[in-house]
Amino acid sequence: MKSAAMYEMTDADFERFRGLINRSSGIFFDRSQRDLLCHGVAGRAKSLGARSLEEYYQRLTDTPGRENELKYLLDNLLIQKTRFFNNLPQFDALCLHIIPEIMRRKAEGFRKLRLWSVGCSTGQEAYSMAMSVLDVLPDPHSWDIQILGTDLSETALEVAGRGIYSPAQLIGVDRLHRDRYFSKQENGYRVTQPMRQLVHFMHHNIVTDQLPVDYFGACDVVFCRNVVIYFNHPTARFVIDHFFDILNPGGYLFLGHSETLWKMSAKYSLVEMGDAFMYRKSLPRSIDGRRFIPDRRMRIAPLPAGVKDDRRQGDCRRRKRLENQAQSDWQNRK
């Protein structure tokens, strides 16, 4: 009881912590998420031995290592629930319609395929996208295929990078896919090298970081499912507009089952395929499979109100190192 009283969150505490998180990451906790924020903040404060939320707030703002602690706090706050082929109708649409359509459009031209899993968590979504591509493409070696998985949680990204999952985590993977794309390990299953070569993971904030245009290029498919629920309306619109900029003409945006672009963007066309729906960037007739250069205006668009930590143009050594490493990794896989 004493511990709970030490970390009781007042209205002022709630405003301070959610303001700090919003300014640094773009994530916004509304009042319906107060309990989630309180639980995550109290958990981190207790683990550090802070005597009060006031003391923990000081550690987040006025001490060395505050950026790392903010990452740990976000790890505590963001729900990392995912599984392979989550929302199967969307993956059916990807396999049966979207990838074949892109193949036909690009077969005689620029044979690049780019897919991006935003908020990839521990990697199951990105690897599901890779399995979908390998299932459909009859000659994947004749294509330049890259799948990018990004997330705010470095803990989750470490799991994704290892590519090892317990039998319980393979729920959703049928026996055919398990035997084809995973190798049995002592305590689980590891993704096979052909699939692993398609996927790269990196830490990335879709609000405050520069979008990965230079080393990844324009995207054909973006999965951003159950991510915009963490943003207020202006920030969600900011993110959705940037996805439009980085998508190839004819590219597709997948959102979560309960998410919609209603009152958010009129740039996309709603597409229904079977039991799934997604959004498409229209395809001008003049493209005809030729290379598309994404709109670079995304780099200088003003951040949403309240978000201050703009890392899109500054000299960030760590980000440059990650970008160089990503580019090197993909070059070595060719």
Q: Is 287 a residue whose pLDDT tops 70? A: no
The structure tokens 């707030």 sit at 57
- Cα angle vertex 115, ends 24, 72, to 5°? 30
- Return phi, psi of residue 209, to 5°: -100, 155
Dist. CA 22–CA 205, nearest whole Å: 12
Q: Which of the four pLDDT bands, split at 50, 70 and 90, describes residue 71?
A: confident
Q: Which of the four pLDDT bands, split at 50, 70 and 90, describes residue 66?
A: confident
Report pLDDT digits (tens) over 243-255. Answer: 998 999 999 999 9
Mean pLDDT of the chain: 85
Dist. CA 327–CA 312, nearest whole Å: 18
* pTM over 0.75, yes/no: yes
Q: Which of the four pLDDT bands, split at 50, 70 and 90, describes residue 72?
A: confident
Dist. CA 128–CA 332, nearest whole Å: 23
Report pLDDT digits (tens) over 175-231. Answer: 999 999 999 998 899 999 989 999 999 999 998 888 887 778 889 999 999 898 889
What domains can be seen in the chain, in order of their start residue?
Answer: 2-77 (1.10.155), 88-333 (3.40.50.150)
**Residues linked to residue 149 through DSSP beta bridges, in sequence order:** 117, 201
Q: Is 84 a residue whose pLDDT tops 90? A: yes
Q: At what angle do helices 154-162 and 66-77 cross, to 10 degrees?
A: 70
Q: Is 326 a residue whose pLDDT tops 80? A: no
Q: In this structure, how many other beta carbons lie within 10 angstroms of the beta carbon of residue 206?
A: 25
- Return phi, psi of residue 253, to 5°: -115, 125
What local confidence, expressed as pLDDT, does residue 108 receive? 78
What local confidence, expressed as pLDDT, does residue 67 receive? 84
